[in-house]
Amino acid sequence: MEDRALTATDATARAYWLLVLGPLAALALLYLYPLATVLWLSVTVPSPGVGNFAALASSAAVQRIVLTTLRVCLTTTVLALAIGYLIAYAA
């Protein structure tokens, strides 16, 4: 009797994995492959190395964008924590 239970469990597990494999394949194809390609190009074009990132870090426009992003993130985080704290302890 235990053999039949294990077989049913194994069949269910296989069915679940078959359901998961499609989305995982789509994720790999549509997200991970382009991401890996862009990262590869960022360190190999026009010449191998991290010169592209050094040029970005020294750009005034990029520095301004990063600072603005950090300011927005900090403001949003502080407001979300304050509102969440008020809601959690309002009772």
pLDDT, averaged in runs of 10, over the chain (91 residues) = 65 90 95 96 92 92 97 98 95 65
Domain boundaries, the chain: 1-49, 59-91
Cβ proximity of 83 and 73 under 8 Å? no
Instruction: Identify the pLDDT of residue 5.
Output: 56
Give the predicted TM-score (pTM) of the model: 0.60
Instruction: Identify the pLDDT of residue 7.
Output: 75
Instruction: Identify the pLDDT of residue 2.
Output: 53
Instruction: Identify the pLDDT of residue 3.
Output: 56
Q: Give residues with Cβ within 8 angstroms of 45, minimum separation 6.
A: 52
Tell me, what DSSP letter sits at residue 32? I
Instruction: Identify the pLDDT of residue 11.
Output: 85
Q: Give residues with Cβ within 8 angstroms of 67, minimum separation 6.
A: none
Instruction: Identify the pLDDT of residue 10.
Output: 86
Continuous segment of H or E residues that includes residue 16 = helix 2-27
